[in-house]
């Protein structure tokens, strides 16, 4: 039987954990990552660091 938490993940309601950022490419961007605590799905995005121009 599928638990309620996994069912919520299947319809797109994830339990995202804290976001982790790291700088792999350049000094003015940060690549962020979050992971769902129930199913393990990863979400990644890139942002420009604030105050750097």
pLDDT in tens, 2-42: 688 889 999 999 999 998 887 766 678 888 999 999 999 99
Contacts of 35 (CB under 8 A, 6+ apart): 16, 17, 41, 42, 43
- What distance lies between CA 49 and its chain's CA centroid? 17
Q: Please give the model's pTM, rounded to 2 decimal places.
A: 0.67
Domain ranges within the chain, ordered by starting residue: 4-48
The rounded distance, in Å, linking the Cα atoms of 45 and 17 is 15
Q: How far is CA 9 from CA 37, 41, 45, 46, 50, in A?
A: 10, 9, 20, 24, 32
């Amino acid at each position: 039987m599928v638990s309620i938490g996994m069912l919520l993940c299947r319809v797109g309601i994830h339990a995202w954990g804290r976001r982790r950022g790291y700088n792999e490419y350049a000094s003015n961007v940060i690549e962020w990552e979050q992971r769902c605590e129930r199913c393990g799905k990863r979400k990644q995005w890139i942002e420009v660091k604030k105050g750097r121009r």
